[in-house]
């Protein structure tokens, strides 16, 4: 699984892991911060949240164009610096007045523009590592590993956000609203770590930084192999894919909005028994160790490696049993943001499973194409919201739940959300890393930065549309809210299958 990958992959993946850890720590509590600190209604908070997400994913188009002209490495470094300024501004407690609101918006602009320079261009560099013939067959698996590394950072983010906020409230005496800023400050530290990793291991990927003089000759040589028709066909195919994935991201990124609202307002705030173990991130890490050690146990050819793997499995199982014996009879209180740890946990834990399945299919010549995987991802996302329909049976509307008071509220089990995140993650693993790999492979060489930016523009539009969930949240039955996302995912999947031959032709 890890063998045969270019060395630069690990350096770029770890640099991105640091940046994503800070970003997801902020995102875990941001929607709740908007409502608590500024007293915003769900729809208004959702509009700000989705606009920010939209800018984060739209601005890589501008960043890609700038990188095509000035080089990818320069834009990555500049992006980290600009992001740092934004997170620093957001981490300062300024209260909830107009000045604080303006400062918050300015911070979001810095963060989104910096991310636009950093995110897409780093991924173009990852893709260019596989332009060498000896690495070409590893492109899809490389992006799966890169995506896994991103989610290692995201896995610890919700717990970090909650614990830092609680520490600021209990140990330092800050108010609930001011305590959020300590969660945001974590991103500043993570960016320092990210840039340190980038420059410490720069020698492993310097050749793909795309400095202007160095890339001109390479680009000219590759572009000469594409006719104007081939270039047009590739761009059209990419744009069709971009149009479809808009609706996946609209549905998927409800994890920070309506799914978080559901966790906050409708999930039983007390976890008991074995379920409570799911909310300790170290238990999740132990499960990850078991998964990876199991793969190592069966795949390794060395007896010593097999022995180490067996010891790791035994130690992780012993740790989980010890944790089980320490479960508090009265249960533990859980907060809404903590549910966001399940998606990155599933990504990290299931990546080797996904790679093993597709590797076995590839060996038999039956691996689905990247466009086909994307279509399957859309179907799976629709199934996830069918689960939420079942979870919402018998529940009040959000407005009714709010008016019911403590004695009249009806709660659902947190297991529904845990299952929903599992299914959404299956869809994400089919769509996101494969989509990025598809773009890096199909994009005409002289438009690589722009086309990778186009992928993020599609994500941006989807994120702008996330706010639809916020505006639906209130008087409508919950089943009607989830039905919107089911319908959009199924229609998008159908469209993908209709145009599949055209997409597979350019692969």
Confidence of residue 211 (pLDDT cuts 50, 70, 90): low
Which tokens belong to 170?
């209990």
Confidence of residue 330 (pLDDT cuts 50, 70, 90): confident
Alpha carbons 225 and 206: distance in angstroms, whole number: 25
> What pLDDT is recorded for position 89?
92
Alpha carbons 292 and 282: distance in angstroms, whole number: 15
Q: What tens digit of pLDDT does each residue of 31-86 get?
A: 888 988 898 888 888 888 888 887 887 888 888 888 888 888 899 999 999 999 99
Confidence of residue 345 (pLDDT cuts 50, 70, 90): very high
Q: Which residues pair with 270 in a beta bridge?
A: 333
Residue located via tokens 């799911």: 278
DSSP 192: H
Q: What tens digit of pLDDT does each residue of 420-442 get?
A: 999 999 999 888 888 888 888 88
Question: pTM above the 0.95 mark?
Answer: no
- Statement: residue 464 has pLDDT above 70: yes
> What pLDDT is recorded for position 2?
63
**pLDDT mean over 301-324:** 93
**Among 121-125, 317-321, 450-454, 470-474, the range of highest mean pLDDT:** 317-321
Best CA proximity match to 198, nearest among 255, 248, 126: 126
- Statement: residue 323 has pLDDT above 90: yes
Burial status of residue 322 (CB atoms within 10 A of its CB: 0-12, 13-18, 19 or more): exposed
In DSSP notation, 129-155 reads GGGSGGGGGGHHHHHHHHHHHHHHHHH
Confidence of residue 127 (pLDDT cuts 50, 70, 90): confident
Alpha carbons 177 and 181: distance in angstroms, whole number: 8
- Statement: residue 109 has pLDDT above 70: yes
For residue 95, the SS3 value is coil
- Contact (CB, 8 A) for 294 and 313: yes
> What pLDDT is recorded for position 131?
84
21-30, 205-214, 340-349: segment of lowest average pLDDT: 205-214
Burial status of residue 329 (CB atoms within 10 A of its CB: 0-12, 13-18, 19 or more): exposed
H or E segment at 105? helix 98-128
**pLDDT mean over 252-278:** 90
- Statement: residue 255 has pLDDT above 50: yes
> What pLDDT is recorded for position 136?
79
Residue 403: count other Cβ atoms within 10 Å of its Cβ: 11
The residue ranking higher by pLDDT, 178 or 377, is 377
Half-sphere exposure of 33 (CA within 13 A, CB side): 28
């Amino acid at each position: 699984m890890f063998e045969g990958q270019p060395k630069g992959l690990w350096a770029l993946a770890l640099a991105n892991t640091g940046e994503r850890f800070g970003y997801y720590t902020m995102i875990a509590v941001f929607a709740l911060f908007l409502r608590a600190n500024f007293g915003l209604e769900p729809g208004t908070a959702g509009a700000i949240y989705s606009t920010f997400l939209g800018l984060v994913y739209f601005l890589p188009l501008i960043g890609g164009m700038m990188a095509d002209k000035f080089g990818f490495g320069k834009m990555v470094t500049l992006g980290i610096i600009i992001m740092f300024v934004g997170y620093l501004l957001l981490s300062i407690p300024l209260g909830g007045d107009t000045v604080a609101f303006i400062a918050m918006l300015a911070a979001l602009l810095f963060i989104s523009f910096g991310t636009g320079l950093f995110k897409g261009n780093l991924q173009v560099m990852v893709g260019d590592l596989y332009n060498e013939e000896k690495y070409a067959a590893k492109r899809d698996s490389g992006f799966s590993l890169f995506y896994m590394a991103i989610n290692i950072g995201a896995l610890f983010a919700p717990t970090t956000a909650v614990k830092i906020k609680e520490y600021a409230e209990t140990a330092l005496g800050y108010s609930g609203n001011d305590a959020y800023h300590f969660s945001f400050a974590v991103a500043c530290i993570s960016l320092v770590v990210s840039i340190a990793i980038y420059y410490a291991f720069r020698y492993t990927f310097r050749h793909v930084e795309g400095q202007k003089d160095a890339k001109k000759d390479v680009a000219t040589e590759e572009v000469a192999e594409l006719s104007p028709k081939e270039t047009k066909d590739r761009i059209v195919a990419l744009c069709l894919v971009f149009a479809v994935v808009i609706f996946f991201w609209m549905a998927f990124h409800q994890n920070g909005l309506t799914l978080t609202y559901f966790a906050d307002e409708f999930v039983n705030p007390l976890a008991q028994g074995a379920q409570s173990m799911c909310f300790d991130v170290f238990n999740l890490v132990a499960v990850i160790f078991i998964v990876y050690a199991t793969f190592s146990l069966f795949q390794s050819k060395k007896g010593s490696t097999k022995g180490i793997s067996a010891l790791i499995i035994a130690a992780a199982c012993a740790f989980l049993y010890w944790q089980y014996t320490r479960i508090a009879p009265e249960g533990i209180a859980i907060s809404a943001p903590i549910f966001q740890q399940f998606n990155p946990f599933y990504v990290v834990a299931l990546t080797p499973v996904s790679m093993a399945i597709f590797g076995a299919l590839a060996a038999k010549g039956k691996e689905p194409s990247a466009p086909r995987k994307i279509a399957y991802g859309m179907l799976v996302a629709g199934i996830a919201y069918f689960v939420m329909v079942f979870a919402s049976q018998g529940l009040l509307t959000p407005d009714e739940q709010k008016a019911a008071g403590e004695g009249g509220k009806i709660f659902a089990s947190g297991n529904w959300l845990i299952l929903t995140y599992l299914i959404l993650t299956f869809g994400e693993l089919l769509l996101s890393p494969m989509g990025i790999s598809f773009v890096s492979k199909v994009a005409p060489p002289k438009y690589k930065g722009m086309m990778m930016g186009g992928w993020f523009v599609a994500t941006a539009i989807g994120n702008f549309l996330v706010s639809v969930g916020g505006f639906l949240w209130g008087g409508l039955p919950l089943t009607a809210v989830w039905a919107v996302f089911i319908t959009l995912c199924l229609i998008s999947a159908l469209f993908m299958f209709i145009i599949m031959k055209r997409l597979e032709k350019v692969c």
